Amino acid sequence: MDYIFDGIVQAIGLILSGDPVIFEVVGLSLRVSGTSVLIAVLIGIPLGILIGTREFIGKRVLLRIIYTCMSLPPVILGLFVFLILMRQGPLGAYQLNYTPTAMIIAQTLLVTPIVMGLTYNIVRDRAKDVGRLGKTLGGTGVSNVFLMLREVKGGLVIALVSAFGRAISEVGAVMIVGGNITGKTRVMTTYIAELRSMGDYSQAIAVGIILLLLSLIVNTILYQFQQRDEK
């Protein structure tokens, strides 16, 4: 049990001492996950709104694919991205494997279906009412899209939280495409896995606690934003 207590003490020590290794790992984790979520939001929200407000041939098949991708195992996705980016792969010329860019690509592919699927579900429930209101008040296509965004923003925050949670806690995909290279592609989750394999449980717990704290801080900020919207 001592190592758990030691881990907590070490975590506090690491945060307070400004340990450069930890800050580098935390910084890269936030950069990779943050960028992935940002790209996923830019792609997933407009597409989710489009699917939620329009009827078209193949919509049910598309939704089934999206829902399947929402629970895609990160290891499989990581392997797929690795094969695409490897030297002999279709995008091998760009030599992206074992770089943060490859990690961002993998995480973006992982969280975009989550953002898209959740946005679709939120929009679908209100599409008819909001669309009808916008039209009968003389709104244009653009103003009606903004009205829809305004009406579902609380739900979009939940999509954002879910996507960020999935990205920051993910280990399989980033391990495969990033390789956990010290000072280059090492993020918190892959660092924890490495520390565990080295038997450094206290340090692993310390990084785990920092990861949890980060998730807590981000979720609290977004939750507050959503609560303020509901008030």
CB of residue 25 vs other proteins: minimum separation in angstroms? Answer: 40
CB of residue 90 vs other proteins: minimum separation in angstroms? Answer: 45
User: Which is closer to other proteins, CB of 64 or CB of 132?
Assistant: 132
CB of residue 150 vs other proteins: minimum separation in angstroms? Answer: 8
CB of residue 118 vs other proteins: minimum separation in angstroms? Answer: 18
Query: 134: which residues sit within 8 A by CB, 6+ positions away?
Result: 143, 144, 147, 148
Cα diameter, the chain: 67
User: Which is closer to other proteins, CB of 92 or CB of 139?
Assistant: 139
Question: In the 3-class helix/strand/coil scheme, how is the chain assigned residue by residue?
Answer: CHHHHHHHHHHHHHHHHCCHHHHHHHHHHHHHHHHHHHHHHHHHHHHHHHHHHCCCCCHHHHHHHHHHHHCCCHHHHHHHHHHHHCCCCCCHHHCCCCCHHHHHHHHHHHHHHHHHHHHHHHHHHHHHHHHHHHHHCCCCHHHHHHHHHHHCHHHHHHHHHHHHHHHHHCCHHHHHHHCCCCCCCCCHHHHHHHHHHCCCHHHHHHHHHHHHHHHHHHHHHHHHHHHHHHC
> What is the contact surface with other proteins in residues (CB under 8 A)?
126, 129-130, 132-133, 135-139, 143, 147, 150-151, 154, 229-230
User: Which is closer to other proteins, CB of 133 or CB of 193?
Assistant: 133
User: Which is closer to other proteins, CB of 124 or CB of 126?
Assistant: 126
CB of residue 193 vs other proteins: minimum separation in angstroms? Answer: 43
User: Which is closer to other proteins, CB of 2 or CB of 230?
Assistant: 230
CB of residue 136 vs other proteins: minimum separation in angstroms? Answer: 4
